[in-house]
A and B are shown apart, each in its own frame.
Chain A
Amino acid sequence: MNEKNAALVESALKEYYFGHFDLIHVPPKPTQREFGYQKINGGMTRHLSIKDNKELHLLLMKEIPSDVYCSNAYYSFPSVPMSEKDWQGADLIFDIDAKDLALPCRKDHTISKCSSCQQIKNEGQPQCIKCGSTKFEVSSVACKNCIDKSKEEVKMLIEILTNDLGIKNEEITVHFSGNEGFHLRVVNSDYETLDSQERADLADYVMLNGMMPETFGIRRQANSKPLLPNMDEKGWRGRVAKTLFGSKAKIPKVTREITFGGYSTFQLKLEEMRQTIGVKVDPKVTMDIHRIFRLEGSVNSKSGLTKIQCNDLDAFDPFVDACLLGDEKVELTVNCPVSIKLKNKKFGPYDNEKVALPKYAAVYMICKGIGNAI
């Protein structure tokens, strides 16, 4: 990020941190967690120990970090090198990101910009029309559909966590990630001691990864009789049955088709179901038991939006509720071929033009790599 951009973003962050201590808290068991942060254009500083909100707020004011993180893990000695921390357990975390949902709207709000000359690339263009470079930087901007679809994934995940895995609703917190998705945190003593491999299997469960036809009595040998699930069953069996049959009236017909189709046809059906009804979480996040995860209440430097708790998921609008930077007007040049809605105001499209925008929108453009402070 160039100096002018950095100065503008930093001033917005400073204002934000100073005025929003009420939103930024240390999570439970703070003294057992590892904290870390990044400054604009700086590397990661981690293995920090912070004992309370006061100490955290002091760090934010002193360092004005662009991103702040805190471990999902609890350690005996959080500030020493990883091998000596003495891992005690970790909250179960899930990351749902719109970019992983393969949504058709993505192409409408994804901007590719030439890495050398900043020229915007049009769809299907293999190289920059201005300088011929083949290297592009890609960024995706605000889209309501992406958020709505991500919310559906969150709801499905909560349904699985509560109904299948016995986790209580009050043990789950949902946060907007600060960019294009949601983070879920589960604080439950039974699950906190699971290791990485065990969490990977749990992630596969919610994603419907690895379900075998044999689970339904369908074997490679042709003479096996299917033991198809019942639509009233709980867990994945019931969900699979509902997807397979649609309605009770169709059960005999679908059962015949499955029996006739055999192993590989059913395997393909399971694969289709994985894509349609499996929850799209990032398994690498869930299985990482040493991750430092974005801190609630901090700003995400990929957008300038805040990672904020969603108490009412349906009503939550990240482009209003998480857009918390100042609204003082600042001038910048913006090259954005699509329009963006923040705080219920429409911005753009802009064709490499000089505009005066409220700070929250200016920071958003800069963070997305489509705006430059003057």
Chain B
Amino acid sequence: MDYISPEDMAKYPFLAETGAYLKDKGLTLEELGNPDWKPAITKAYDRIVAGISGEIYKSNLEEPDIEILSFVIAVILLKKVGIPTLNRRFSLAEARRVERYLEKDLKWDSQDSIKEHLRRKNESHSISLKILHDQFNLDVTTNEDSFKVKATDYLKRAAHFHEREWKLVNRRVEGGMVHLSSDETVRLIRKELSEFINSRIQAVNITFVPEAFEKPVIELGSLAKKFSEPATFSGEYPPCVKHAIEVLDKGENLPHSGRFLLATYLLAKGQSVDQIAPLFKNAPDYNERITKYQLEHISGESGKGTKYQCPSCDKLKSENLCFATAECDGIINPVQFGKRRKS
């Protein structure tokens, strides 16, 4: 697939082809300062505001040039504002917008008639499959509304999702391939897509911006303040940590993974090695010197200074150390337990 239409570029403006397209049209950053392009700047600003507010911006594919430009300007504006939270929120919202188009295109591209058409043109990849393959190294086999990815490609992505439906055991797996619907296939790359868009913002190198960009930059800067609210901690231990403490209190053996959870959790909550060490005194194989050595290692005080993080809820589930209660709802790591955003 060599040719990408302006409409496709409007859907997927992060593609490298977009830069070449704008260059061919003679559009430079200086040129964008021209009042003729004000609608594109306004659209870019609106696109950012929608994105950082968690909405999915609706593209108008009937005006592909303005669409493409609004993305490019949005990226420049965000780079100029320079607030990572805004970049992350915008990138995620854009990823979700792109997902919708990718899903639609994937469905369309999987039709036998389209595949036959591509075969005649000696093209193996259509737009959606090309993006998945080239940008995200994900090969998708399609067959009339049925999509398959390699089990390893699936695990590398879905094993990091927190919803249980994404566990491999809840999927149809056959001959090393996982069967998915079109939206599930596209969902697999949401994080990578968002990181890719974020990396495009980071990679922008600008020494100059037109005057017309200054007002939106200031406005976006003040808007950013809304997204840095402090969190509070209720002071309660999560059930997995409570369980680990109870096991030790009873003088029973807590497996290594349970001790690691307890240590990393309490370290994350600001306790020191000396405060944590006595908790292990009741362990049947307690050795003061080894306990201290291991805690210092986990805390990064000794060894190479790596501070180990508290294991995720998913990992604890696999290790049979999770005793989730209703209060655990929505958390993905025990350190988040009891944290509530101020509304």
A residues near B (Cβ < 8 Å) are: 81, 83-84, 163-167, 190-191, 193-198, 200-205, 208-212, 214-215, 233-237, 283-284, 287
Contacts and interface: CB of A to CB of B under 8 A. Distances in A.
A211 B160 CA distance: 17
Given A83-B303, A83-B306, A204 B169 contact: yes
A210 B169 contact: yes
B170 A198 contact: no
A284 B319 contact: yes
B174 A198 contact: no
SS of A interface (majority): helix
28 contacts: A81-B303, A83-B303, A84-B304, A164-B174, A165-B176, A194-B156, A197-B159, A197-B160, A197-B315, A198-B155, A198-B160, A200-B159, A200-B318, A201-B159, A202-B155, A204-B167, A204-B168, A204-B318, A205-B169, A208-B169, A210-B167, A212-B165, A233-B172, A234-B175, A235-B173, A236-B169, A284-B257, A287-B315
A195 B319 CA distance: 16
Interface residues of B, number: 30
Contacts of B304: 81, 83-84
A235 B172 contact: yes
A236 B315 contact: no
Nearest to B257: A284
B170 A190 contact: no
Interface string B140-182: 0000000000111001101110001101111011111100000
A12 to B, nearest CB: 28
B317 interface: yes
Contacts of A164: 151, 173-176
Contacts of B312: 197
Contacts of A203: 318
B314 interface: yes
B315 A166 contact: no
A166 to B, nearest CB: 2
B329 to A, nearest CB: 15
A237 B317 CA distance: 23
Contact of A211 (B156, B169, B257, B314): B169
A143 to B, nearest CB: 24
A236 B173 contact: yes
B156 A166 contact: no
A83 B257 CA distance: 19
A128 B317 CA distance: 37
B176 A201 contact: no
Given A165-B173, A202-B168, A215-B165, A210 B317 contact: yes
B168 A205 contact: yes
Nearest to B174: A234
Contacts of A208: 169
B318 to A, nearest CB: 4
Given A200-B315, A203-B318, A215 B170 contact: yes
Contacts of A163: 174-175
Given A83-B303, A200-B315, A200-B318, A210 B174 contact: no
Contacts of B170: 210-212, 214-215
B227 to A, nearest CB: 28
Contacts of B150: 166, 190
B310 to A, nearest CB: 14
Contacts of B314: 197, 200
Nearest to B320: A283
Contacts of B156: 193-195, 198
Contacts of B172: 233-235, 237
Nearest to A214: B165
A199 to B, nearest CB: 8
Contacts of A197: 159-160, 312, 314-315
Nearest to A283: B318
Contacts of A194: 152, 155-156
A201 B158 CA distance: 9
A284 B175 CA distance: 25
Contacts of B303: 81, 83
Given A196-B315, A201-B168, 8 more contacts: A164-B173, A197-B315, A198-B160, A200-B318, A205-B167, A236-B169, A283-B319, A287-B318
A166 B177 CA distance: 7
Contacts of A84: 304
B181 to A, nearest CB: 13
Contacts of B160: 197-198
Contacts of B317: 210
A359 to B, nearest CB: 31
A284 B321 CA distance: 12
B164 to A, nearest CB: 6
Nearest to B314: A197
A226 B324 CA distance: 27
A191 B152 contact: yes
Contact of B155 (A201, A211, A214): A201
A203 B155 CA distance: 11
A234 B151 CA distance: 15
